[in-house]
Structure 1
Amino acid sequence: MENNKINFIELQATDLKEIKKFYGNAFGWTFTDYGDTYCDFHGAGISGGFTKTNKVTTGGTLVVLYHKDLSIAIENVKKNGGKIAVDIFSFPGGRRFEFIDPNGNKLAIWSDK
């Protein structure tokens, strides 16, 4: 591991079973459970986990995933229970959309295509 590099991202979830189903089906992530209140996720390009909480709070940080085809990504989010917060829009260098997962976390997906 390198000093001063992002190494891990931790997200919140009120229902770990539901959140694993969403990210597993929508993005193909896999999980390692550590008791009833925590699981790591794998396949996201960075190490991370979900911690069980009574209420999901959001802050100023936005986690952004990449997908080469936003039309596939947005359909995967919708059909697995995610809600689109900001529809696909263009910006210098690409396009992206933002979504809310079934537990209330806000993320985005971008593409350079």
Structure 2
Amino acid sequence: MEIPNKLRHEQIQYLEFLSADLERAKDFYHTAFGWTFTDYGPQYTAFEGDFVDGGFTGGTPRPGSILVILYSDNLEETKKRVVRAGGIIIKDIFSFPGGRRFQFTDPDGYELAVWSM
């Protein structure tokens, strides 16, 4: 599988927002910035940009609720490095349409995720 040009090993590649109203969020970001969306069921919609992709999932927005997602060429090795550095795995590697990912907290308690194809 050819890796898209914007994917860089262990760099931020995806941002995931919570939204109480996905249709309202899509309308706002399309009108304000021209973003286009792909729906993946009733509780998830994704957008694609030139340099970073993202999505909106159903939920109640709260300060700090954006999930920063990094890309990895080798998910298992990146997970080992995160743990060695002091990160705490809060969701072990799982599959989703389009790839696999895990989620962790850093030493300050920020939640991040890493994904791979």
TM-score using structure 1 length: 0.48
- Report the structure number with the largest CA radius of gyration: 2
